[in-house]
A and B are shown apart, each in its own frame.
Chain A
Amino acid sequence: MIEIKKLTKNFGSLIAVDHLDLFIGAGDIFGFIGPNGAGKTTTMRILVTLMEPTSGIAFIDGLDVTRKGKEVRRRVGYMPDFMGVYDDLKVFEYLEFFAAAFGIEYRKRKAIVDGVLELTDLVSKRNAQVDSLSRGMQQRLGLARVLIHDPKVLILDEPASGLDPRARIEIRELLRELKKMGKTIMISSHILSELEEICDRIGIIEHGQLVFGGTMDEIRPRLGIQGKVRVKVLGDSARATELLTALPQIHQVETVGDYLSVTFREGEQADGVIARTLVNGGVDLVYLQPEQLKLDDAFLKLTKGIVH
């Protein structure tokens, strides 16, 4: 659905995006991650035709964004990182204005606006002035706006920034709903752990270059980090440590608080072996839980230049 090839954008001597290659399939939620100034917003702005690339090419739904700008805009809903509202309009008027701007017929607009208000749970604010809404409500209104013309692709630049935990959870739920509706979503955020829960794939960008792109499962071998499990046993943990250390698949066993942190050798995954070994060795196993590699850890490792 979204395809970027050798995309480059220079601002004078500054290279904001540097030969970026990316592919996002239809119906995917793609998390776009990177430190400030990495080139996320510039990439997104090129995709929504607000900027022209210095070189390279980008397609949305098979359309070249530099040549078919108007057609691309019809297919894309864009929510910028800092979004203003027209402070002299009411919520319904604001949405209807954008409906008109997207060329939706007058007689259809009311039903469409009411529909997106319902989807974003803003029906009670239909007649409120947009500048009187809270930050969370304004973000919801922003989402309602991008849905008004039923786009195939949503490009959301840090939609959860500045929101409280409840509002962030609500936005996340809304994104899940949109995924169910078959939308392709490209989302950037600094709340990395949230992307981990909703994204099918992630891309990590630094200095305008993609340093990683893939699924969460693909990220472990790419980083060269071994898998880990947490093991909690009843009674003496020394016996358990002794049994596990003897296994060829195990790289290291550490005692962390009241549990053991077990690290596998590269390429090994031996949860079943651990359980069997402990039970056969007479150790009472309370739980065995995989330790997930958090997106924050991956982000820190990758953007430190560990992976090139």
Chain B
Amino acid sequence: MIASVKKTFLSMVRPKWLTGPIFEKELRVSSRRRRNYVLRFFYILLLTIFVGMVWLSVAEYQGDVTYQRSRMAAAGKEIVMTIVFFQFIATQVLAIVMLSTAISDEVYHRTLGLLMTTPITSLQVVMGKVLSKLLQLGLLLAITLPMLAVVRIFGGIPWGYLLSSFCVTLTAVLFAGSVSLLISINNRRAYAVIIRTGFVLLSFYLIIPLILAALMGYLVPLFGPILNVRGFFSPWRWALLAHLNPFYGIMANTERMMSPGTRGMPFIWPVHCLVMLGLSALVLTWSAKIVRRVALRQVTGQLDPSAGGLKVGRKRCRDSAPVAEGRVKRVIGPAVVWKELRAPLIQGVDHRNSYIGLAATLGMLLLTYITGYLDRSLREEFWHVSYGLLFVFIGIIVATVFSATRITTEKEAQTWSLLLATPLEDRDILLGKAVSAFRRCLPIWGLLAGHVILFVLVGYIHPIAIFHLAILVTWLTCFVTGTGLYFSARFARTTSAVLASFGVMLSLWAVGPVLAGLLDLMGGSIRGGLLTKYMLIHPAIQTQLILAGAGGAANGRAALAELQYGERSVLGFSLEEFGLSDMTFILTVTALAYVGTGILFFFGAKRRLRRNIV
């Protein structure tokens, strides 16, 4: 009797009822993967760099003992804040990456259907995957706990802040991972899952609140009295919205820690954590339902594992029907370029949907122009810098993804050896791939060009910006395409190529400035020479310089000699003023360096083209 009660109790306490054997299997496999150890190493390295930089920036001041103690307290708070924010961002990114192949790998290796022939439930599959990754991320969070505890002693950090930040981070990680897992069911390629998850989270955390803010700011005053919608945006509803957003939560929490007594929007972190847990539960339950359907399709042979998940299953069913006669397109021009451009812009999305997406983007852009026109902000250079940064940021992402996937997708589809067995020169194949990667980025660069040309005509941007932006886009395209093609030729898997390419971009344009700043600090000159020089060749800073210097109503119609660059700060980084010739010189030198590096990568890709053939 006692043994039976004990057994029942233990079975309820053990998490196995929720995860099944999947949890153990995932942990076992994870422990054998080298990349997980590399990931942890870089996580700790980056964290150390950030903390070291903050420490140096805060603790280097000299003075009497009392002043130094107060500085130590400030340093403690800033270090804790750095760690908390670093963990908050890094663990969410890692959760998305780690769960990006959670289900698609099972589909691709044809093991999902097999799992469904065992007593394991689809919920156990989903929970086993999520919780095993969450455990690993929890370990990463736990690594910093001793450091946080030590810093707390001399920093005067309340325990409550550490606890609340830990919980907000953990629930945000769970939600991000759940969304990634859900999207991985229908997408085979990890990079596609990562980008789509990023877009979903960005919409959920930023775009939807921004739209609501825009509605509140512009539409309510216009239509509020007619539609009686003003009451909808009462403060408590904003507070409710804030409880759906972990970014707001972590910032509100930190603000209270840094400046006790300030009163902001009400934020109760346990409520937020419960809301995020509830949302994650919903996403995971939905995932379990879809996983079961996909698994059943696989078991019954309706799924093509080489292509994707549920959506593909439907496609296959459709394809098994009699084939409709369609128009055949003749091959015109270089074969590789023709083939690359024949495929739809987005995998799995036909040309019609691509055009609809482009039209929707143009519509949204027009809406923001109308909004900007109404409040006269289009006259400000800040507005144009923001647009420029947005287009350049998206352009870099799109160019990286398209160039890094050009060759690996062929390797994965096992068509690469067929292409290499033709008499096409390696150089021609690579050029074809490069041209197609550029052609696929044209809509983004077209939007940037369209924006600049439109406002040059209106007189809100100086025409010289077209020339400067053309130089910027040229070197960005050459460098990003060369890098992407190199990694695409080097790696067999698309995900590896995309991550390696993004790794180069992040190292150059995110970690590089931090290191440069750190070196400057060690040299004793804050914002000194190295960081300034480094930032001058940063694409975001160059975009800012070009559009802040030549944008806005004041600059739009100015004479060339009157244009001044560098005095305005938009990204929190400003320089001493300099003229047009200096700006052109900086851009030209940067372009030469990056184009040269891009060409070197291109030749590296050519050398590796016939290696690692699948």
Residue of B nearest to A80 (CB): B417
Considering the chains assembled together, what is the distance between the CA atoms of A48 and B422 in angstroms? 9
Considering the chains assembled together, what is the distance between the CA atoms of A173 and B307 in angstroms? 32
Is A90 a contact partner of B326 (Cβ separation < 8 A)?
yes
The digit string for A68-111, where 1 denotes a CB below 8 A from any CB of B, is 00110110101010111111111011001111111100100110
Chain B nearest CB from A207 CB (Å) reads: 23
Contact of A100 among B329, B338, B414 (CB under 8 A): B338
Q: Is B33 an interface residue (CB 8 A)?
A: no
Contacts of A74 in B (CB 8 A): 423
Contacts of B343 in A (CB 8 A): 86, 88
Q: Is A51 an interface residue (CB 8 A)?
A: yes
Chain A nearest CB from B44 CB (Å) reads: 32
Considering the chains assembled together, what is the distance between the CA atoms of A97 and B341 in angstroms? 12
Chain A nearest CB from B413 CB (Å) reads: 4
Is A84 a contact partner of B330 (Cβ separation < 8 A)?
no
Q: Which residues of B306-343 have CB atoms within 8 Å of chain A's CB atoms? A: 307, 319-320, 323, 325-326, 328-332, 334-336, 338-339, 342-343
The digit string for B280-300, where 1 denotes a CB below 8 A from any CB of A, is 000000000000000000000
Is A86 a contact partner of B415 (Cβ separation < 8 A)?
yes
The digit string for B394-422, where 1 denotes a CB below 8 A from any CB of A, is 00000000000000001001110111111
Is A50 a contact partner of B425 (Cβ separation < 8 A)?
no
Contacts A51-B613, A74-B423 given; does A86 touch B319 at CB 8 Å: no
Most chain A CB neighbours (cut-off 10 Å) among B328, B421, B613: B421
Residue of B nearest to A98 (CB): B422
Contact of A127 among B326, B332, B344 (CB under 8 A): B326
Q: Is B424 an interface residue (CB 8 A)?
A: yes
Contacts of A92 in B (CB 8 A): 328
Chain B nearest CB from A139 CB (Å) reads: 14
Report the contact-size class of chain A (Cβ under 8 Å from the partner).
35 or more
Q: Looking at the complex, which of A128-136, A232-240, A249-257 is the stretch in contact with chain B?
A: A128-136
Contacts A97-B338, A101-B422 given; does A83 touch B328 at CB 8 Å: no
Q: Is B40 an interface residue (CB 8 A)?
A: no
Q: Is B610 an interface residue (CB 8 A)?
A: yes
Q: Is A45 an interface residue (CB 8 A)?
A: yes
Is A109 a contact partner of B331 (Cβ separation < 8 A)?
yes
Chain A nearest CB from B603 CB (Å) reads: 18
Considering the chains assembled together, what is the distance between the CA atoms of A84 and B306 in angstroms? 10
Q: What total of chain B residues lie within 8 Å of the partner, measured CB to CB?
A: 35
Contacts of B335 in A (CB 8 A): 97-98, 100-101
Is A128 a contact partner of B328 (Cβ separation < 8 A)?
no
Is A93 a contact partner of B414 (Cβ separation < 8 A)?
no
Q: Is A269 an interface residue (CB 8 A)?
A: no
Contact of A131 among B319, B419, B421 (CB under 8 A): B319
Considering the chains assembled together, what is the distance between the CA atoms of A273 and B421 in angstroms? 55
Contacts of A110 in B (CB 8 A): 330
Contacts of B331 in A (CB 8 A): 93, 96-97, 99-100, 106, 109
Considering the chains assembled together, what is the distance between the CA atoms of A97 and B331 in angstroms? 6
Q: Is A226 an interface residue (CB 8 A)?
A: no
Contacts of A103 in B (CB 8 A): 423
Q: Is A145 an interface residue (CB 8 A)?
A: yes
Is B342 a contact partner of A87 (Cβ separation < 8 A)?
no
Is A84 a contact partner of B425 (Cβ separation < 8 A)?
no
Considering the chains assembled together, what is the distance between the CA atoms of A51 and B420 in angstroms? 10
Considering the chains assembled together, what is the distance between the CA atoms of A48 and B424 in angstroms? 13
Considering the chains assembled together, what is the distance between the CA atoms of A74 and B425 in angstroms? 12
Is A85 a contact partner of B415 (Cβ separation < 8 A)?
yes
Contacts of B418 in A (CB 8 A): 78, 80, 83-84, 98, 145
Is A132 a contact partner of B319 (Cβ separation < 8 A)?
yes
Contacts of A85 in B (CB 8 A): 413, 415
Considering the chains assembled together, what is the distance between the CA atoms of A50 and B344 in angstroms? 29
Residue of B nearest to A134 (CB): B320
Is B319 a contact partner of A102 (Cβ separation < 8 A)?
no
Considering the chains assembled together, what is the distance between the CA atoms of A131 and B326 in angstroms? 15
Is A50 a contact partner of B613 (Cβ separation < 8 A)?
yes
Is A70 a contact partner of B323 (Cβ separation < 8 A)?
no
Is B414 a contact partner of A83 (Cβ separation < 8 A)?
yes
Considering the chains assembled together, what is the distance between the CA atoms of A80 and B418 in angstroms? 8
Is B417 a contact partner of A86 (Cβ separation < 8 A)?
no
Chain B nearest CB from A166 CB (Å) reads: 19
Residue of A nearest to B350 (CB): A88
Considering the chains assembled together, what is the distance between the CA atoms of A106 and B330 in angstroms? 9
Residue of B nearest to A132 (CB): B319
Chain B nearest CB from A9 CB (Å) reads: 13
Is B421 a contact partner of A49 (Cβ separation < 8 A)?
yes
Is A101 a contact partner of B424 (Cβ separation < 8 A)?
yes
Chain B nearest CB from A280 CB (Å) reads: 63
Contacts A51-B613, A132-B320 given; does A84 touch B422 at CB 8 Å: no
Considering the chains assembled together, what is the distance between the CA atoms of A56 and B343 in angstroms? 41
Contacts A50-B613, A80-B418 given; does A127 touch B328 at CB 8 Å: yes
Contacts of B414 in A (CB 8 A): 80, 82-84
Considering the chains assembled together, what is the distance between the CA atoms of A45 and B614 in angstroms? 11
The digit string for A265-306, where 1 denotes a CB below 8 A from any CB of B, is 000000000000000000000000000000000000000000
Contact of A96 among B330, B419, B423 (CB under 8 A): B330
Chain B nearest CB from A104 CB (Å) reads: 10
Contact of A90 among B304, B319, B328 (CB under 8 A): B328
Contacts of B329 in A (CB 8 A): 93
Residue of B nearest to A145 (CB): B418
Is B413 a contact partner of A73 (Cβ separation < 8 A)?
no
Chain A nearest CB from B314 CB (Å) reads: 13
Considering the chains assembled together, what is the distance between the CA atoms of A106 and B331 in angstroms? 8
Contact of B421 among A78, A90, A93 (CB under 8 A): A78
Contacts of A90 in B (CB 8 A): 326, 328
Contacts of B320 in A (CB 8 A): 132
Chain B nearest CB from A31 CB (Å) reads: 21
Q: Is A190 an interface residue (CB 8 A)?
A: no
Is B319 a contact partner of A89 (Cβ separation < 8 A)?
no
Considering the chains assembled together, what is the distance between the CA atoms of A132 and B322 in angstroms? 10
Chain B nearest CB from A70 CB (Å) reads: 5
The digit string for B594-614, where 1 denotes a CB below 8 A from any CB of A, is 000000000000000010010
Contact of A102 among B328, B410, B423 (CB under 8 A): B423
Considering the chains assembled together, what is the distance between the CA atoms of A90 and B148 in angstroms? 60
Contacts A93-B342, A100-B338 given; does A128 touch B323 at CB 8 Å: yes
Contact of A84 among B334, B415, B610 (CB under 8 A): B415
Chain A nearest CB from B420 CB (Å) reads: 6
Cβ contacts A to B, 25 pairs, < 8 Å: A45-B417, A49-B421, A50-B417, A50-B420, A50-B613, A51-B613, A52-B610, A78-B417, A80-B417, A84-B410, A84-B414, A85-B415, A89-B339, A90-B328, A93-B342, A96-B331, A97-B339, A100-B338, A101-B335, A101-B336, A101-B419, A101-B422, A128-B323, A131-B319, A132-B319
* Contacts A78-B421, A83-B415, A101-B336 known; 20 new A-B pairs at CB < 8 A: A45-B613, A70-B423, A73-B421, A80-B418, A83-B414, A84-B414, A86-B415, A87-B307, A88-B343, A88-B344, A89-B342, A93-B329, A98-B335, A101-B419, A101-B423, A102-B423, A106-B332, A127-B325, A131-B307, A132-B320
B interface residue numbers (CB < 8 A to A): 304, 307, 319-320, 323, 325-326, 328-332, 334-336, 338-339, 342-344, 410, 413-415, 417-425, 610, 613
The 10 closest A-B pairs by CB, nearest first: A84-B414, A100-B335, A132-B319, A101-B422, A84-B413, A128-B323, A84-B415, A101-B335, A78-B421, A100-B331
A interface residue numbers (CB < 8 A to B): 45, 48-52, 70-71, 73-74, 76, 78, 80, 82-90, 92-93, 96-103, 106, 109-110, 125-129, 131-132, 145
